[in-house]
Amino acid sequence: MRKVAIFWPGDYRPRPNAWALPQVREATRQIAGALRRLGRRPYVVRGFLTRPDEAITRLGPIDDPMIGLFAHWTYGPHTCDGVAGKTSPLLLASNFSGKWPGLVALLNTAACLEAIDRSASRIWTEAKDWSKDRVFMARLDEWCSTGRIRYPEHELHASAAVPARALRLAGDVVSGVRARRPLALMLGDTSMGMINGYLGPRLLSKIGFAEHKVDQAWLLDRMKSVGDDRVEDALRFLLAKGLRFHWREAGAEDFTRDSTLTQLRMYFAVADLVAEFRADCLGWQYQLGLVPLLPPSDLCEGLFNTTCRPESSGEPMITATEADQGNLVPMELLKRLLRAKGLHPAVMFHDVRWGARHRGRWLWVLLNSGSSSAYAFNHDPRTLRGAHSYRQPAGYFPIAGGTLSGESLPGPITWARAYLAGGQLWMDVGRGEVVRLPPTVREAWWRGTTRQWPFMAADLGCSMETIMAHFMSNHVAVAYGDVFAEMVAASRALGFRVRVLGTLPT
């Protein structure tokens, strides 16, 4: 290959693209320079791809090898719809930044491409001068020469030992799934073009799950029937349980008590829908359709994932933000396995946002917009101490509303993710550990990402390169406690192909 096209996948929203433009231009300069050093002739496709039709129109006619450049959040279809059905070499390239999370968009887009059987390679660097990163340059040269990059696979395993006791417990949980099919209430469809996040009834039915979709527009009507007393009682409950609301703080002056009351009204409207349809778990799109109409749903989602919540059943109502079924299914399974093992059944929903080395150990910053259980912040199912609600950043959420945030406590974890590859359902499963960082390091990492969102510093039990090269999502389900063997066994029994990430015990 000589000529190489560079294109810019974008956000649908103009403002994030405008914010990211300096980073994207710099990243373009870096990768174009690296390609020239390898004797290639790069050219840039005009402008951000902000809609599927733009991807189809601008990328469809290109037969040259292509590089999608990720230096901020982008939507999967803004790459996928322009390259689907093509066989030319495709490379997804990213910076490695917490503030400009190109790696998040790379992971999401790579998984979306896998879901539609479009092959692509991945490459990334955190170097200021990309051409001086020897590993990066060697991989870029490999792609230029062969059309693909091979990554180490020694931490990928098709099997793991499952003790008899774990097998029995998993069997009991699977029997429960088969006796009564778990019903996922889906408020809308996957958010922001997350092709990899939607499994649908054809696949869900094969693993014993069902879905029922309800248009999010119902919320605008259902909220009218939620009584004021019910909402006020809920706020008093949250305050009494220790949730701290950061109303009217600097930069968030429009975030008020009334903002939270509206979010709680939305919480009850959804709770009533869950009760009406007797749903077992919940996928909530929220973005983008409701952004100009209602406050963000993150406080509601975090509360549903928490047992200590208004009108609680005593169990978390597993909720996946962005209606991501690839996280919803493992979260519901992890919840049932935890409960069967006598552990607290809360499960956290997180983004794989960024990472760094600390004291010789690679740690990921797991950071979602508010869909984490408050149990992560206190390990006490009876309280909300350690939980905070900050205003969601106004640039993305014009109507003020809060998150459910806090610092996740240390402890062993089991993590998982479901995805589609080669037309089959897969489940990634791993062990790890949440780590407590020194306050100065924690604050630097937290403020270098999004300070309003729940924070978890986690060792996922495998190398950074294994996640970046092989993981099939930007989302991950995380549970405190060891239900690793049980999750492997349950996933297999339900019909998933299982992939274990990490170093297996000898």
Give the CA-trace dihedral at 140, 145, 149, 152, to 10 degrees: -100
Q: SS3 sequence, 283-312?
A: EECCCCCCCCCCCCCHHHHHHHCCCCCCCC
Give the CA-trace dihedral at 236, 239, 241, 246, to 10 degrees: 150
pLDDT along the chain (506 residues), means of 10: 93 93 96 97 97 97 97 95 96 92 95 97 96 97 97 95 97 98 94 90 96 95 98 98 98 97 98 98 88 95 98 97 96 98 98 96 95 97 98 94 98 98 96 98 97 98 97 97 98 98 80
| d(C-alpha 49, C-alpha 79), whole Å | 8
The architecture (CATH level 2) of 164-501 comes to: Alpha-Beta Barrel (3.20)
Specify which residues 94 forms β-bridges with. 70, 124
The architecture (CATH level 2) of 3-146 comes to: 3-Layer(aba) Sandwich (3.40)
Hey, CA dihedral for 236, 241, 243, 247, is it positive or negative? Answer: positive
Whether 164-501 and 3-146 are alike in CATH topology: the answer is: no
Answer whether the bond into residue 288 is a cis peptide, omega within 30°. Answer: yes
Q: What is the pTM of this model?
A: 0.97
The residues spanned by each domain of the chain are 3-146, 164-501
First to last CA, the chain: 44
The two three-digit tokens of residue 28, written as one number: 């373009």
The pLDDT of residue 505 is 66
The pLDDT of residue 286 is 84
State which amino acid sits at residue 104: V
Q: Which helix (H) or strand (E) holds 244?
A: strand 244-245
The pLDDT of residue 455 is 98
